[in-house]
Chains A and B, each alone.
Chain A
Amino acid sequence: MSLITLTNIGVRLGGHQALSHVDFSIDEGEIVTVVGPNGSGKTTLLRTIIGAQKTSSGRIERARGLRVGYVPQSLSIDSTLPLTVRRFLSLPLRHSGAAMEAALIQAGVEGLLNRQMSALSGGQFQRVLLARALLKKPDLLILDEPTTGLDQPGSASLYRQIEQVRATLGTAILMVSHELHVVMSASDRVICLNGHVCCHGTPEIVASAPEYRALFGTGTQGALALYRHDHDHHHHSHADHSHEHGACDHA
């Protein structure tokens, strides 16, 4: 069953229609990625789902007792605020040391509890954010561009960690990402957003939709094709395949 269902959602931001007629739902254990150009309302959609953004129309239904873990796009901690990882993980609810250690391990780091948040590297910081979200034992984990500020290997490893979380905990995952090739490989479903849902479906369906191509052009298609060429070209029909070879040569 669906964890959360949005029906015909509209959001106005300062007199501008940020989202209109958005239908969305996510099931248990699913990985759904939202892609779209800058200003397409991706973050607004996530903020609507966590209840941070008022809607101007539409309906949101949450499964009873739904626990949502949220990893924000960026978190700048003021240098005047002393904060250990231990304290950060216990905000707003206290957790035991063992639970915090376990969450850090699930997020792929260890032994950071007594470090200052300001002393963490970019990758460690993102993982601590992930660990904080996991401590709630969420049914749904929401991540807004979790790899912002990470280099290529760093972000690839964080995505692997996120897949691992789904694999071990069965948590549904909704994320926004710009790294299309990674996203397309790891997601069950992709939603292409541009103020409204342009297209949605499995990565293959979305990638071949004309709306998606109009938004992302040939450059990303190349990257995508490259990826598919490496990993799952045998899934495609011959016609599709040859087309992708062409795109692949481009890239």
Chain B
Amino acid sequence: MLDDFLIRATLAGVGVALAAAPLGCFVVWRRMAYFGDATAHAAILGVALSLALSTSVFAGALAVALIMALTVSTLSGRGYAMDTLLGVLAHSALAFGLVAVSFLHGVRVDLNAYLFGDILAVSTTDLAVIWAGAALVGVLTIWRWSALLTATLNPDLAYASGIDPKREQLVLTLGLAIVVAVAIKVVGALLIVALLIIPAASARPLSRTPEAMALIAALIGGLSALAGLRASFLWDTPTGPTIVCVAAVIFLLTNLSARFLRV
């Protein structure tokens, strides 16, 4: 069954979408979208390094994404203007990554595959890595759910409940780095954050509790992956961007319908 590239692609897309959506809710609630960008863009540098060192692309992307995420989360709350700092870090990481890739002589690197993803080229090994990563992030999110949510509401409220908000921030950072590393093959570094944020933002008008929002976001993410693959197959469009387009249309529909129903 896994011999069919379309089935592998479907499983890869759905896996990433399911892991990204609940984590994406936290990214939205904590206003960390730019943080996700910085992590994702740094992953390109990781890809370049791992190609140069001939190690696994996943490991390289994960390592550099993690370093970037830790750097940003250490610098946050130390009096820097965060949006500026993140803008600097995100785009310089991407630029350094692109320049680093150009130094790789002898290796034919299809940069597009890492910027926009190449879901149709997902191998069985990739699939295993994606689902292992997705499962890890899923378990991490469910396990820390209440603590993460309390820390998201208010750090002092968390302390008073015996929860260390810094530790929860670290959990989130780790989850984000894993999602970025596994998703780079599916939607690419430039569109990973879309898979985090758009399903969550689409789920918001339909939800009354955080749990409902996470579940609906996961459903919308999975649905976008399925419909996006189908649409890209029908119309011969690039798959990663098509998945994001479907998610964006769903976002528009849920938010507009919520607005009309309210009026």
Which residues on A are within 8 Å of B, measured CB to CB?
Answer: 14, 47, 50-52, 68-70, 72, 75, 77-78, 80-84, 87-88, 91-93, 116, 142
With contacts defined as CB atoms under 8 Å apart, how many contacts are there between chain A and chain B in the complex? 70
Q: Is B154 a contact partner of A75 (Cβ separation < 8 A)? A: yes
Partner of B209, one of A68, A80, A82, A142: A82
Task: Sort chain B's interface into a size bin.
Answer: 20 to 34
Q: Is B208 a contact partner of A92 (Cβ separation < 8 A)? A: no
Q: Is A82 a contact partner of B213 (Cβ separation < 8 A)? A: yes
Q: Is B28 a contact partner of A80 (Cβ separation < 8 A)? A: yes
Partner of A116, one of B158, B161, B201, B208: B208
CB-nearest residue of chain A to B209: A87
Q: Is B152 a contact partner of A82 (Cβ separation < 8 A)? A: no
**Hey, which chain B residues are within 8 Å of A91, CB to CB?**
146, 149-150, 153, 161
CA distance A193 to B158 in the complex (A): 26
CA distance A30 to B147 in the complex (A): 31
Q: Is A92 a contact partner of B159 (Cβ separation < 8 A)? A: no
CA distance A84 to B210 in the complex (A): 9
Partner of B210, one of A52, A75, A82: A82
CA distance A93 to B155 in the complex (A): 16
CB-nearest residue of chain A to B206: A82
Q: Is A87 a contact partner of B210 (Cβ separation < 8 A)? A: yes
Q: Is A72 a contact partner of B154 (Cβ separation < 8 A)? A: yes
CA distance A47 to B154 in the complex (A): 13
**Hey, which chain B residues are within 8 Å of A14, CB to CB?**
79
Residue B233 at the chain A interface, CB threshold 8 Å: no
Q: Is B201 a contact partner of A80 (Cβ separation < 8 A)? A: yes
Q: Is B213 a contact partner of A92 (Cβ separation < 8 A)? A: no
Q: Is A52 a contact partner of B29 (Cβ separation < 8 A)? A: no
Q: Which 9 A-B pairs have the closest CB atoms?
A: A70-B160, A52-B159, A92-B146, A50-B160, A92-B150, A81-B29, A82-B207, A80-B28, A52-B156
CA distance A71 to B34 in the complex (A): 31
Identify whether the interface residues of B are mostly helix, strand, loop, or mixed.
helix
**Hey, which chain B residues are within 8 Å of A69, CB to CB?**
160
Q: Is A70 a contact partner of B157 (Cβ separation < 8 A)? A: yes
Q: Is B161 a contact partner of A92 (Cβ separation < 8 A)? A: yes
CB distance from B87 to the nearest CB of A (A): 21
Q: Which of B1-35 contact A (CB under 8 A)?
A: 28-31
Partner of A82, one of B30, B201, B212: B212
Q: List 28 A-B contacts (CB under 8 A).
A: A14-B79, A50-B156, A50-B160, A51-B159, A51-B160, A52-B156, A52-B160, A70-B156, A70-B160, A72-B156, A80-B28, A80-B29, A80-B204, A81-B152, A81-B153, A81-B213, A82-B204, A82-B208, A82-B210, A82-B212, A83-B153, A83-B209, A91-B146, A92-B147, A92-B149, A92-B161, A93-B161, A116-B208
**Hey, which chain A residues are within 8 Å of B155, CB to CB?**
52
CA distance A75 to B154 in the complex (A): 7
CB distance from A193 to the nearest CB of B (A): 18
**Hey, which chain A residues are within 8 Å of B157, CB to CB?**
70, 72, 75
CB-nearest residue of chain A to B152: A81
CB distance from A135 to the nearest CB of B (A): 11
**Hey, which chain A residues are within 8 Å of B213, CB to CB?**
81-82
CB-nearest residue of chain B to A117: B153
**Hey, which chain A residues are within 8 Å of B209, CB to CB?**
82-84, 87
Q: Is A47 a contact partner of B29 (Cβ separation < 8 A)? A: no
CB distance from A133 to the nearest CB of B (A): 8
CB-nearest residue of chain A to B204: A80
CB-nearest residue of chain A to B200: A80
CB distance from A82 to the nearest CB of B (A): 5
**Hey, which chain A residues are within 8 Å of B30, CB to CB?**
78
Given contacts A78-B29, A82-B209, A93-B146, 20 further A-B contacts (CB under 8 A): A47-B156, A50-B159, A51-B160, A51-B162, A52-B155, A52-B160, A69-B160, A70-B156, A70-B160, A77-B153, A78-B31, A81-B213, A82-B207, A87-B211, A88-B153, A92-B146, A92-B149, A92-B161, A93-B161, A116-B208
**Hey, which chain A residues are within 8 Å of B156, CB to CB?**
47, 50, 52, 70, 72
